[in-house]
């Protein structure tokens, strides 16, 4: 059925049975004989010979792939160069460098007081490393760095004697959970500023995390909201940033307030009162 492969096999048999005549250079036959001498199963050597002779077609490739699929990988095939990419066992490992996914934990830093669990998901330095496991790409043959490296994260340092406070935090989420409005006031540096952040993600608004939203149009304050489901009950961390200064405020049981229709208080809505004062940090 596989005529061309049969011809190649017949040629291989003829080579082994032929009397010693005047030598004739034939790289394909030399490779085949070296392959057999190396202890490689004959079917694998014959498939290689077929390809070397120019008889490499779809039918033969399909047959050879099936016939050699379960063969042990040889340590050396004797193929010129000693390497056949179709048989990884015949090649040095440096020929095969695959990107592989591995997990590495983000660096763990000292927890910041005043936050539930001491953890702010927007700032890995405040959380235990178990909260942050990132997939990273590495290569098996990649050289190890010789110089120092930086994680890109700097430990925050407290600003002596400086605190900020959140006043009258409320959140109202739509009944279809498509959006939430956040209203509160920031008391900082002797000044009070009213904030309104309107979020419309379209779904799952009550469990959304978001970042870098202005307190209000033209405000110097940037607001972030980090939702944390575990450990239960779910909580959130509201962060306020002014330039290189930041303060974190924990919002406990963020989705645990009663759901009512009169007055309207859909899931995720609630009045959370005053938060802080909390320490201000700088980077």
Asked if residues 180 and 133 have their Cβ atoms less than 8 Å apart, the reply is no
Q: How far apart are CA 159 and CA 278, in angstroms?
A: 11
Q: Is 229 exposed, middle or buried (0-12, 13-18, 19+ CB in 10 A)?
A: exposed
Asked if residues 80 and 32 have their Cβ atoms less than 8 Å apart, the reply is no
Q: What is the pLDDT of residues 72-118, one digit of tens each?
A: 654 444 444 445 544 545 455 544 444 444 444 433 334 444 444 44
Q: What is the pLDDT of residues 20-66, one digit of tens each?
A: 444 455 777 777 787 777 777 777 777 777 777 766 666 666 667 66
What is the overall mean pLDDT for the chain? 72
Half-sphere exposure of 227 (CA within 13 A, CB side): 11
Alpha helices in 42-92, H assignment, sequence order: 42-52, 58-68
Half-sphere exposure of 184 (CA within 13 A, CB side): 31
Give residue 119's pLDDT. 52
- Please enumerate in sequence order all residues whose Cβ is within 8 A of that of 244, keeping only pairs 6 or more positions apart, or say none: 282, 283
Q: Report the candidate in 222, 226, 239, 246 with the shortest Cα–Cα distance to residue 154.
A: 246
Q: What is the pLDDT of residues 110-130, one digit of tens each?
A: 444 444 444 554 554 555 444
The DSSP 8-state label assigned to residue 143 in this structure reads P
């Amino acid at each position: 059925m596989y005529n061309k492969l049969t011809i190649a096999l017949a040629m291989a048999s003829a080579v082994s049975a032929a009397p010693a005549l005047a030598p004739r250079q034939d790289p394909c036959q030399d490779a085949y004989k070296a392959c057999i001498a190396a202890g490689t199963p004959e079917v694998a050597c014959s498939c290689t010979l077929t390809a070397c002779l120019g008889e490499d077609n779809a039918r033969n490739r399909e047959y050879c792939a099936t016939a050699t699929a379960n063969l042990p990988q040889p340590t050396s095939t004797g193929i010129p160069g000693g390497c056949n990419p179709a048989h990884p066992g015949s090649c040095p490992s440096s020929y095969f460098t695959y990107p592989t996914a591995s997990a590495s934990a983000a660096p763990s830093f000292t927890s910041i007081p005043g936050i539930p669990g001491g953890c702010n998901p927007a700032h890995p330095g405040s959380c235990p490393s178990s909260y942050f496991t990132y997939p990273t790409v590495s290569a098996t043959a990649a050289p190890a760095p010789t110089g120092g490296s930086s994680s890109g994260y700097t430990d925050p340092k407290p600003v002596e004697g400086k605190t900020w406070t959140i006043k009258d935090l409320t959140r109202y989420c739509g009944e279809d959970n498509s959006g939430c409005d956040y209203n509160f006031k920031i008391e900082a540096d002797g000044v009070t500023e009213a904030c309104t952040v309107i979020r419309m993600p379209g779904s799952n608004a009550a469990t959304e995390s978001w970042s870098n939203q202005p307190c209000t149009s033209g405000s110097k304050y940037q607001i972030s909201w980090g939702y944390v489901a575990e450990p239960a009950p779910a909580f959130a961390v509201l962060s306020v940033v002014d330039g290189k200064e930041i303060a974190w405020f924990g919002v406990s049981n963020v989705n645990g307030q009663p759901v009512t229709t009169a007055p309207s208080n859909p899931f995720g809505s609630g009045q959370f009162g005053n938060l802080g004062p909390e320490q201000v940090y700088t980077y």
